Amino acid sequence: MRIDILTLFPDMCMTYLEESVIGRARSSGKIEIVCHQIRDYTQNKQKQVDDAPYGGGHGMILTAQPIYDCFMDLCDQLGVRPHLIYMSAQGQVLTQQKLTGLSGMSHIAILCGHYEGVDERVIEEIVDEEISVGDFVVSGGELPALLLADGITRLCEGVLSEPLGYEQESHYYGLLEHPHYTRPENWRGRQVPEVLLSGHHARIEQWRREQSEQRTRLRRMDLWEKHQNQHC
Protein backbone atom coordinates (compact mmCIF):
# COMPACT_ATOMS: atom_id res chain seq x y z
CA MET A 1 0.00 0.00 0.00
CA ARG A 2 1.09 3.58 -0.63
CA ILE A 3 0.08 6.73 1.25
CA ASP A 4 0.94 10.22 0.00
CA ILE A 5 0.66 13.17 2.37
CA LEU A 6 0.21 16.69 0.96
CA THR A 7 1.44 19.14 3.58
CA LEU A 8 3.21 22.39 4.38
CA PHE A 9 5.32 20.56 6.98
CA PRO A 10 6.80 17.40 5.44
CA ASP A 11 9.78 17.37 7.81
CA MET A 12 7.45 17.39 10.81
CA CYS A 13 5.59 14.39 9.37
CA MET A 14 8.75 12.48 8.49
CA THR A 15 10.05 12.75 12.05
CA TYR A 16 7.14 10.60 13.17
CA LEU A 17 7.05 8.35 10.11
CA GLU A 18 10.63 7.22 10.67
CA GLU A 19 9.97 5.83 14.16
CA SER A 20 8.44 2.74 15.81
CA VAL A 21 5.98 0.44 14.03
CA ILE A 22 5.34 2.74 11.08
CA GLY A 23 9.07 3.39 10.61
CA ARG A 24 9.83 -0.34 10.56
CA ALA A 25 6.98 -0.97 8.13
CA ARG A 26 8.40 1.64 5.76
CA SER A 27 11.95 0.33 6.07
CA SER A 28 10.87 -3.23 5.32
CA GLY A 29 8.81 -2.15 2.31
CA LYS A 30 5.48 -3.30 3.73
CA ILE A 31 4.07 0.18 3.16
CA GLU A 32 5.24 3.24 1.25
CA ILE A 33 4.56 6.72 2.64
CA VAL A 34 5.70 9.85 0.79
CA CYS A 35 5.31 13.49 1.86
CA HIS A 36 4.85 16.32 -0.64
CA GLN A 37 5.52 20.01 0.03
CA ILE A 38 2.50 22.01 -1.17
CA ARG A 39 4.57 25.21 -1.10
CA ASP A 40 6.72 23.90 -3.97
CA TYR A 41 3.73 24.35 -6.28
CA THR A 42 3.07 28.03 -5.70
CA GLN A 43 3.27 30.38 -8.69
CA ASN A 44 4.58 33.46 -6.88
CA LYS A 45 8.10 34.45 -5.90
CA GLN A 46 7.18 34.68 -2.22
CA LYS A 47 6.03 31.03 -2.13
CA GLN A 48 2.84 32.28 -0.50
CA VAL A 49 0.20 29.58 -0.11
CA ASP A 50 -2.49 31.49 1.79
CA ASP A 51 -4.64 34.59 1.40
CA ALA A 52 -7.34 36.53 3.24
CA PRO A 53 -10.89 35.13 3.09
CA TYR A 54 -13.50 36.75 0.86
CA GLY A 55 -16.18 38.40 2.97
CA GLY A 56 -13.72 39.20 5.76
CA GLY A 57 -13.10 37.28 8.91
CA HIS A 58 -10.28 36.01 11.08
CA GLY A 59 -7.24 34.13 9.77
CA MET A 60 -5.98 33.07 6.37
CA ILE A 61 -7.12 30.45 3.85
CA LEU A 62 -4.95 28.03 1.85
CA THR A 63 -5.38 28.85 -1.83
CA ALA A 64 -6.65 26.26 -4.28
CA GLN A 65 -3.94 26.44 -6.97
CA PRO A 66 -0.90 24.96 -5.18
CA ILE A 67 -2.98 22.18 -3.61
CA TYR A 68 -4.52 21.29 -6.97
CA ASP A 69 -1.22 21.37 -8.82
CA CYS A 70 0.48 19.28 -6.13
CA PHE A 71 -2.20 16.60 -6.39
CA MET A 72 -2.26 16.64 -10.19
CA ASP A 73 1.52 16.26 -10.29
CA LEU A 74 1.23 13.29 -7.95
CA CYS A 75 -1.35 11.70 -10.25
CA ASP A 76 0.93 12.26 -13.25
CA GLN A 77 3.91 10.72 -11.46
CA LEU A 78 1.95 7.63 -10.45
CA GLY A 79 -0.13 7.22 -13.57
CA VAL A 80 -3.17 6.71 -11.35
CA ARG A 81 -5.47 8.88 -9.24
CA PRO A 82 -5.28 8.00 -5.54
CA HIS A 83 -8.28 8.30 -3.23
CA LEU A 84 -7.87 11.78 -1.68
CA ILE A 85 -8.84 12.40 1.94
CA TYR A 86 -8.96 15.88 3.47
CA MET A 87 -8.43 15.96 7.23
CA SER A 88 -11.19 18.27 8.41
CA ALA A 89 -13.08 18.97 11.61
CA GLN A 90 -16.21 18.85 9.44
CA GLY A 91 -15.53 15.34 8.18
CA GLN A 92 -16.83 11.92 9.17
CA VAL A 93 -15.37 10.95 12.55
CA LEU A 94 -12.68 8.31 12.16
CA THR A 95 -13.48 4.83 13.49
CA GLN A 96 -11.68 1.50 13.56
CA GLN A 97 -14.14 0.25 10.97
CA LYS A 98 -13.20 3.12 8.67
CA LEU A 99 -9.51 2.33 9.11
CA THR A 100 -10.18 -1.28 8.20
CA GLY A 101 -11.90 -0.22 5.00
CA LEU A 102 -9.13 2.18 4.02
CA SER A 103 -6.44 -0.41 4.71
CA GLY A 104 -7.90 -2.48 1.87
CA MET A 105 -7.14 0.23 -0.68
CA SER A 106 -3.94 0.11 -2.67
CA HIS A 107 -3.33 3.85 -2.63
CA ILE A 108 -4.63 6.88 -0.76
CA ALA A 109 -3.52 10.50 -0.48
CA ILE A 110 -4.09 12.76 2.52
CA LEU A 111 -4.45 16.54 2.35
CA CYS A 112 -3.41 18.50 5.43
CA GLY A 113 -5.12 21.85 5.87
CA HIS A 114 -3.72 24.73 7.89
CA TYR A 115 -4.64 28.21 9.13
CA GLU A 116 -8.45 28.61 8.87
CA GLY A 117 -8.82 25.91 6.22
CA VAL A 118 -8.62 25.57 2.46
CA ASP A 119 -10.52 27.14 -0.42
CA GLU A 120 -13.79 25.23 -0.73
CA ARG A 121 -13.43 24.98 -4.49
CA VAL A 122 -10.41 22.69 -4.36
CA ILE A 123 -12.30 20.43 -1.95
CA GLU A 124 -15.16 20.24 -4.43
CA GLU A 125 -12.75 19.63 -7.31
CA ILE A 126 -10.46 16.87 -6.06
CA VAL A 127 -11.31 15.65 -2.54
CA ASP A 128 -13.09 12.28 -2.31
CA GLU A 129 -13.96 12.40 1.39
CA GLU A 130 -13.33 14.41 4.55
CA ILE A 131 -12.30 12.73 7.80
CA SER A 132 -12.13 14.10 11.34
CA VAL A 133 -10.22 12.55 14.23
CA GLY A 134 -12.68 13.93 16.78
CA ASP A 135 -14.93 16.79 17.76
CA PHE A 136 -12.13 19.26 18.42
CA VAL A 137 -9.84 21.55 16.43
CA VAL A 138 -6.04 21.54 16.11
CA SER A 139 -3.70 23.96 14.33
CA GLY A 140 -3.20 21.89 11.20
CA GLY A 141 -3.97 18.61 9.50
CA GLU A 142 -0.56 17.02 10.03
CA LEU A 143 -1.25 15.34 13.37
CA PRO A 144 -4.64 14.00 12.19
CA ALA A 145 -3.00 12.77 8.96
CA LEU A 146 -0.34 10.93 10.94
CA LEU A 147 -3.00 9.34 13.12
CA LEU A 148 -4.79 8.16 10.01
CA ALA A 149 -1.61 6.86 8.39
CA ASP A 150 -0.57 5.06 11.58
CA GLY A 151 -3.99 3.47 12.05
CA ILE A 152 -4.01 2.21 8.47
CA THR A 153 -0.41 1.00 8.51
CA ARG A 154 -0.78 -1.33 11.48
CA LEU A 155 -3.68 -3.08 9.75
CA CYS A 156 -1.66 -3.83 6.63
CA GLU A 157 -0.52 -7.41 6.15
CA GLY A 158 2.81 -8.23 7.77
CA VAL A 159 3.19 -4.96 9.70
CA LEU A 160 2.31 -6.52 13.06
CA SER A 161 3.61 -9.99 13.90
CA GLU A 162 0.10 -11.47 13.95
CA PRO A 163 -3.50 -10.27 13.49
CA LEU A 164 -4.16 -10.61 17.24
CA GLY A 165 -1.94 -7.53 17.57
CA TYR A 166 -4.93 -5.46 16.50
CA GLU A 167 -7.91 -7.83 16.64
CA GLN A 168 -7.97 -7.82 20.46
CA GLU A 169 -7.60 -4.06 20.80
CA SER A 170 -10.23 -1.50 21.67
CA HIS A 171 -12.83 -0.79 18.98
CA TYR A 172 -11.84 -3.58 16.55
CA TYR A 173 -14.97 -5.57 17.44
CA GLY A 174 -16.89 -2.57 18.71
CA LEU A 175 -15.84 -2.98 22.37
CA LEU A 176 -13.14 -1.50 24.58
CA GLU A 177 -10.16 -3.70 25.34
CA HIS A 178 -9.75 -5.71 28.53
CA PRO A 179 -7.11 -4.62 31.14
CA HIS A 180 -3.52 -5.86 30.87
CA TYR A 181 -0.98 -6.92 33.52
CA THR A 182 2.70 -7.89 33.53
CA ARG A 183 5.41 -8.67 36.13
CA PRO A 184 5.58 -8.42 39.11
CA GLU A 185 2.51 -10.30 40.32
CA ASN A 186 2.16 -7.89 43.26
CA TRP A 187 2.87 -4.19 42.84
CA ARG A 188 2.23 -1.80 45.73
CA GLY A 189 -0.33 -4.22 47.15
CA ARG A 190 -2.18 -4.57 43.86
CA GLN A 191 -2.37 -8.21 42.77
CA VAL A 192 -2.68 -9.56 39.24
CA PRO A 193 -6.12 -11.21 38.89
CA GLU A 194 -5.82 -14.88 39.84
CA VAL A 195 -7.43 -16.11 36.63
CA LEU A 196 -4.52 -14.71 34.57
CA LEU A 197 -2.09 -16.84 36.59
CA SER A 198 -4.14 -20.02 36.24
CA GLY A 199 -2.93 -21.11 32.81
CA HIS A 200 -6.55 -22.03 31.98
CA HIS A 201 -6.92 -20.49 28.53
CA ALA A 202 -10.70 -20.85 28.25
CA ARG A 203 -11.24 -19.15 31.63
CA ILE A 204 -8.80 -16.40 30.71
CA GLU A 205 -10.58 -15.69 27.43
CA GLN A 206 -13.95 -15.64 29.21
CA TRP A 207 -12.59 -13.22 31.83
CA ARG A 208 -11.16 -10.96 29.17
CA ARG A 209 -14.44 -10.91 27.29
CA GLU A 210 -16.38 -10.09 30.45
CA GLN A 211 -13.94 -7.32 31.33
CA SER A 212 -14.19 -5.90 27.82
CA GLU A 213 -17.97 -5.82 27.99
CA GLN A 214 -17.98 -4.33 31.49
CA ARG A 215 -15.55 -1.57 30.54
CA THR A 216 -17.54 -0.69 27.47
CA ARG A 217 -20.79 -0.46 29.48
CA LEU A 218 -19.17 1.72 32.15
CA ARG A 219 -17.03 3.98 29.96
CA ARG A 220 -18.71 4.12 26.55
CA MET A 221 -22.42 3.45 26.75
CA ASP A 222 -22.75 4.68 23.15
CA LEU A 223 -20.47 1.88 21.95
CA TRP A 224 -22.22 -0.67 24.15
CA GLU A 225 -25.65 0.22 22.80
CA LYS A 226 -24.35 0.06 19.24
CA HIS A 227 -22.76 -3.33 19.94
CA GLN A 228 -25.98 -4.63 21.45
CA ASN A 229 -28.05 -3.48 18.49
CA GLN A 230 -25.68 -5.21 16.06
CA HIS A 231 -25.93 -8.51 17.94
CA CYS A 232 -29.67 -8.63 18.58
Q: What is the pLDDT of residues 63-120, one digit of tens each?
A: 999 999 999 999 999 999 999 999 999 999 999 999 999 999 999 999 999 988 999 9
φ/ψ (deg, to 5) at 59: 85, -175
CA–CA dist 215, 176 (Å, integer): 6
Residues 9/142, Cβ–Cβ less than 8 Å: yes
Number of domain units in the chain: 2
Considering the entire predicted model, what is its pTM?
0.87
Domain boundary residue among 90, 118, 153? 153
Q: Is residue 162 part of a domain?
A: no
Helix (H, G, I), strand (E, B) or coil at 140: strand
Q: Is residue 160 part of a domain?
A: no
Q: What is the pLDDT of residues 5-47, one digit of tens each?
A: 999 999 999 999 999 999 999 999 999 999 999 999 999 989 9
Query: Same structural domain for residues 146 and 178?
Result: no
Largest CA distance in the chain: 70
Q: What is the pLDDT of residues 154-213, one digit of tens each?
A: 999 999 866 554 455 545 678 999 999 999 999 999 999 999 999 999 999 999 999 999
Helix (H, G, I), strand (E, B) or coil at 198: coil
φ/ψ (deg, to 5) at 85: -110, 130
Q: Structural domain of residue 206, as residue ranges?
A: 168-230
